[in-house]
């Protein structure tokens, strides 16, 4: 199959961003959006600059981070079913975020460290379970351990919400269902501050990820420091997942669907795959958010439910392929 040029994706990005700015309770023409971006006194400036632009950019950044994170995780565990949500990272990050919210640290700068601590604790528990008895890290056992830890985190989160007061319960629903409704420029800045470094670290390890996808022994023979690379990738994935959960809640399946679509279209080499997964993930989540806020207007659907509608069938197809 002939692969489409990557330049097509570069053309799709502005089109998707424009759609995110144009569609809403008040439809806007492209000309009105352009005037609002240039002139702060334009009629649509308050809507575009104050509401839609930070939301669209945040959705694009979070989707890109989750897509990149999923591509890296699939490489280090050599399992096409791997993504942050399934490996327990999102469950741990969500638990940390809900704990921080319950304790009154509801800002992004306060929630993100708690979400990061939860994600890191979850991934350490997953690795510990997967290597019990001194056995080497097995991708299939790692995936099962992630499901177990994710379920445990979900159970603890449910228990906390059961005993929480009504205010905490209402606020915590944001973290559990996923939404970009609270998007703002400070929230976007907070996410960017946490995401830039781990994204750069993943891109730096692109060649090593190519080697790890071949297996630990071939990677070692070809000069890769397997253990160090795996630690760096897991740490970067934990931070990216924590930052995404802190600003948008738990959004599953983005890290599963996007890497496979990108790999199918443009190949498996991570030097190109990681940035292309970022752009594809950004477009995917902007469109998912657009659907969430328009399909059942004036009600806004949970974003995690929208991504699951796409992600669950893809997961079923991948699981069927793995079990063959």
Q: Which two tokens stand for residue 299?
A: 């009600």
Angstrom distance (rounded) from CA 198 to CA 189: 15
Q: Which two tokens stand for residue 72?
A: 């890296």
Mean pLDDT calculated for residue range 260-265: 86
Angstrom distance (rounded) from CA 6 to CA 284: 16
Angstrom distance (rounded) from CA 56 to CA 48: 10
For 81-100, the pLDDT digits (tens) are 777 777 787 788 878 878 88
The pTM score is 0.87
CA of residue 12 relative to chain centroid, distance = 20
Tell me the HSE value of 147 on the side-chain side, using a 13 A CA sphere: 7
Q: Which two tokens stand for residue 28?
A: 């806007």
List the beta strands (DSSP E) in the chain: none
CA distances, 314 to each of 91, 259, 311 (Å): 21, 12, 5
Residue 309 binned pLDDT confidence (cut-offs 50, 70, 90):
confident
For 231-260, the pLDDT digits (tens) are 888 888 888 888 888 788 888 889 888 998
Residue 47 has a pLDDT of: 92
Residue 41: pLDDT over 90: no
Residue 44: pLDDT over 80: yes
Q: Residue 68 burial by CB count (10 A; 0-12/13-18/19+): exposed, middle or buried?
A: buried
Better-predicted residue by pLDDT, 313 or 104? 313
For 128-143, the pLDDT digits (tens) are 887 775 556 666 777 7
Residue 126 has a pLDDT of: 83
Residue 110 has a pLDDT of: 67
Q: How large is the angle between the packed helices 270-294 and 303-323, nearest 10 degrees?
A: 130
Own/partner pairs for 201-208, CB < 8 Å, 24+ apart? 201/232, 201/236, 202/68, 202/69, 202/72, 202/233, 202/236, 202/237, 202/274, 203/271, 203/274, 203/275, 205/72, 205/229, 205/232, 205/233, 206/269, 206/270, 206/271, 206/273, 206/274, 207/270, 207/271
Sign of CA dihedral 68, 71, 73, 75: negative
């Amino acid at each position: 199959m002939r692969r489409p040029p990557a330049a097509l994706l570069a053309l799709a990005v502005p089109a998707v961003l424009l759609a995110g700015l144009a569609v809403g309770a008040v439809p806007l023409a492209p000309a009105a959006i352009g005037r609002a971006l240039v002139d702060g006194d334009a009629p649509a400036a308050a809507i575009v600059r104050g509401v839609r632009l930070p939301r669209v950019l945040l959705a694009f950044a979070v989707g890109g981070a989750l897509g990149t994170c999923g591509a890296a995780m699939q490489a280090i565990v050599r399992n096409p079913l791997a993504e942050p949500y399934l490996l327990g990272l999102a469950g741990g990050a969500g638990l940390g975020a809900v704990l921080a919210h319950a304790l009154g640290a509801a800002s992004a700068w306060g929630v993100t460290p708690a979400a990061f601590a939860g994600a890191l604790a979850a991934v350490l528990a997953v690795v510990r379970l997967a290597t019990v008895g001194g056995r080497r890290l097995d991708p299939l056992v790692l995936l099962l351990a992630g499901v177990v830890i994710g379920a445990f985190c979900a159970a603890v989160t449910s228990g906390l919400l059961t005993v929480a007061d009504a205010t905490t319960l209402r606020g915590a629903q944001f973290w559990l269902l996923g939404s970009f409704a609270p998007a703002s420029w400070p929230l976007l800045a907070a996410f960017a501050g946490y995401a830039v470094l781990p994204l750069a670290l993943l891109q730096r390890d692109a060649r090593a990820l190519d080697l790890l996808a071949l297996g630990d022994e071939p990677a070692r023979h070809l000069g890769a420091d397997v253990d160090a690379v795996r630690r760096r990738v897991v740490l970067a994935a934990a931070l990216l997942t924590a930052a995404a959960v802190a600003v948008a809640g738990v959004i599953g399946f983005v890290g599963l669907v996007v890497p496979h679509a990108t790999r199918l279209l443009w190949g498996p080499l991570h030097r190109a795959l990681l940035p292309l997964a970022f752009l594809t993930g950004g477009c995917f989540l902007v469109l998912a958010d657009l659907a969430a806020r328009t399909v059942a207007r004036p009600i806004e659907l949970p974003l995690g439910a929208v991504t699951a509608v796409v992600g669950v069938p893809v997961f079923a197809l991948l699981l069927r392929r793995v079990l063959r």
